[in-house]
Chains A and B, each alone.
Chain A
Amino acid sequence: MTGLVLMRPTATALVALVRLLVGAYPRWVGCGPDDRQRIYFANHTSHVDTLAIWSALPRRLRQHTHPVAARDYWGSGFRNYIATRALGAVLIDRSREDKAADPLAPLIELLAQGESLILFPEGTRGSSALPGAFRSGLYRLAQAAPQVELVPVYLDNLHRSMPRGALFPVPLTCTVRFGAPLTAVPGEGKEQFLARARGEVVKLSGVAT
Chain B
Amino acid sequence: MNVDESLIGVLIGVVALLVVSSVIGAILSARTKSESQRRVIDNLNARTKSWWIMVALLVIAFAFGRVGTLTLFAFASFFALREFITLTPTRPGDYVPLLLSFFVLLPAQYALIGYDRYGIFAIFIPVYAFLLLPAVAAFAADTEDFLARCAKVQWGVMICVYCISYAPALLFLRIPGYERSDALLIVYLLLIVQLSDVLQYVFGKIFGRTKLAPRVSPSKTVEGLLGGGLSATAIGGALFPLTPFTFLESLAMSFAIVAMGFVGGLTLSAVKRSLGAKDWGALIEGHGGVLDRLDSVSFAAPIFFHLTRFFFA
List A residues at the B interface (Cβ < 8 Å).
23, 25, 127, 157, 160, 163-164, 166, 168, 170-173
Contact = CB atoms under 8 A, between A and B. Distances in A.
A173 B95 contact: no
A23 B86 CA distance: 11
A25 B83 CA distance: 13
Nearest to A171: B82
A172 B95 contact: no
Nearest to B98: A170
Contacts of B86: 157, 172-173
Nearest to A164: B92
Contacts of B78: 171
The 10 closest A-B pairs by CB, nearest first: A163-B92, A173-B86, A171-B82, A170-B98, A172-B86, A171-B102, A163-B95, A160-B90, A166-B95, A170-B99
Q: How large, as a class, is the contact surface on chain B? A: 10 to 19
The binding surface of chain B is classed by DSSP as helix
Contacts of A172: 82, 85-86
A62 B183 CA distance: 44
Interface in B57-91: 78, 81-83, 85-86, 90
A172 B95 CA distance: 12
A25 B78 CA distance: 17
A23 B280 CA distance: 14
A191 to B, nearest CB: 32
B92 A171 contact: no
The binding surface of chain A is classed by DSSP as loop
B281 interface: yes
B92 A173 contact: no
Given A163-B92, A170-B99, 19 more contacts: A23-B82, A127-B92, A157-B86, A160-B90, A160-B92, A163-B95, A166-B95, A168-B99, A170-B95, A170-B102, A171-B78, A171-B81, A171-B85, A172-B82, A172-B85, A173-B82, A173-B83, A173-B86, A173-B281
Contacts of B98: 170
B282 interface: yes
Nearest to B89: A160
Contact of A170 (B83, B85, B281, B282): B85
Nearest to B85: A172
A166 B140 CA distance: 13
Interface in B87-107: 90, 92, 95, 98-99, 102
Contacts of A163: 92, 95
A23 B90 CA distance: 18
Contacts of B102: 170-171
Interface string B43-64: 0000000000000000000000
A25 B282 contact: yes
A127 B92 CA distance: 9
Contacts of A173: 82-83, 86, 281
17 contacts: A25-B282, A157-B86, A160-B90, A168-B99, A170-B85, A170-B95, A170-B99, A171-B78, A171-B81, A171-B82, A171-B102, A172-B82, A172-B85, A172-B86, A173-B83, A173-B86, A173-B281
A157 B92 CA distance: 12
A137 B281 CA distance: 36
Contacts of B92: 127, 160, 163-164
Contacts of A164: 92
Contacts of A170: 85, 95, 98-99, 102
Contacts of A25: 282
Nearest to A170: B98
Nearest to A168: B99
Which of the listed residues A166, A168, A170 has the most CB atoms from chain B within 10 Å of its own CB? Answer: A170
A202 B81 CA distance: 28
Contacts of A127: 92
A56 B154 CA distance: 31
B272 to A, nearest CB: 14
Contacts of B282: 25
A149 B270 CA distance: 44
A36 B219 CA distance: 44
Interface string B255-295: 00000000000000000000000000110000000000000
